[in-house]
Amino acid sequence: MSTVKLTVNGKAVAVDVEDRTLLVQLLRDHLNLTGTHVGCDTSQCGACVVHMDGRAVKSCTMLAGQADGASITTIEGIAKGDELHPMQAAFRDNHGLQCGYCTPGMIMSAIDIVHRHGGQLDEATVRTELEGNICRCTGYHNIVKAVLDAAGRMKVSQAAE
């Protein structure tokens, strides 16, 4: 057992876990943050994507200990109170989800994509960049529309800040 200290959605936490614990298990089983999903468990589907120090990583492919000292943001940490994050709002408005299982990972990856590409996003780029996120409903069309929509909204909200 080791104590892992990290910041999760802005809150400092210290959790005692077995060394073999994955970051996703720490989030779901120890902190009850079950918005982060486990899809394939083989590092291919991206349902478990969270942000570590601002970068979208697969929380099923990291030991909790590797995140010691890091700042983690999960799907539960991106809305401002009742106001959805622009990416969440765009997914809702564009019907960017069907069963919803892949959605948390899609949204966390998509926010990272917009941060990296800023205003230079086009459909082809979004499709390429979402390669690490699999939607088993195959609902990609509206997901891509949502990401492009959100890229515009995030640009506007950044400009306003």
Partner 1 sequence: MYQTKYHRASSVDEAVSLFGKSSEAKFLAGGQTLLPVMKQRLASPSDVIDLGKIKELQGVELSGDTLTIKAGTIYYDIMTNADVKKAIPAIAHLTSVLGDPAVRYRGTIGGSIANNDPAADFPAALLALGATVKTNKRSIAAEDFFQGLFSTALEDGEIITAVSFPVPAKAGYEKMRHPASRFALTGVFVAQTKSGEVRVAATGASQSGVMRVPAIEAALKANWSPSAIDSVTISANGLLADIHGTAEYRANLIKVMAQRAVAAAG
Q: Which is nearer to partner 1, 7 or 61 (CB)?
A: 61
The distance in angstroms from the start CA to the end CA of the chain is 43
Query: Residue 1 Cβ, how far from partner 1 at the closest point, in Å?
Result: 10
Query: Residue 118 Cβ, how far from partner 1 at the closest point, in Å?
Result: 14
Query: Residue 51 Cβ, how far from partner 1 at the closest point, in Å?
Result: 10
Binding site for partner 1 (CB under 8 A): 2, 18-20, 22, 41-44, 46, 49, 55-58, 60-63, 65-66, 68, 109, 112-113, 129, 131-133
Residues 6+ apart with CB under 8 A from 50: 23, 24, 27, 36, 56, 57, 59, 72, 73, 74, 75, 108
| CA distance linking residue 156 with residue 161, whole number of Å | 9
Q: Which is nearer to partner 1, 14 or 160 (CB)?
A: 14
Q: Which is nearer to partner 1, 16 or 41 (CB)?
A: 41
Query: Residue 97 Cβ, how far from partner 1 at the closest point, in Å?
Result: 19
Q: Which is nearer to partner 1, 30 or 93 (CB)?
A: 30
Strand pairing of 71-73 and 2-8?
parallel
Nearest one of 143, 34, 151 to 98, comparing CA atoms:
143
Q: Tokens in use for 137?
A: 């409903």
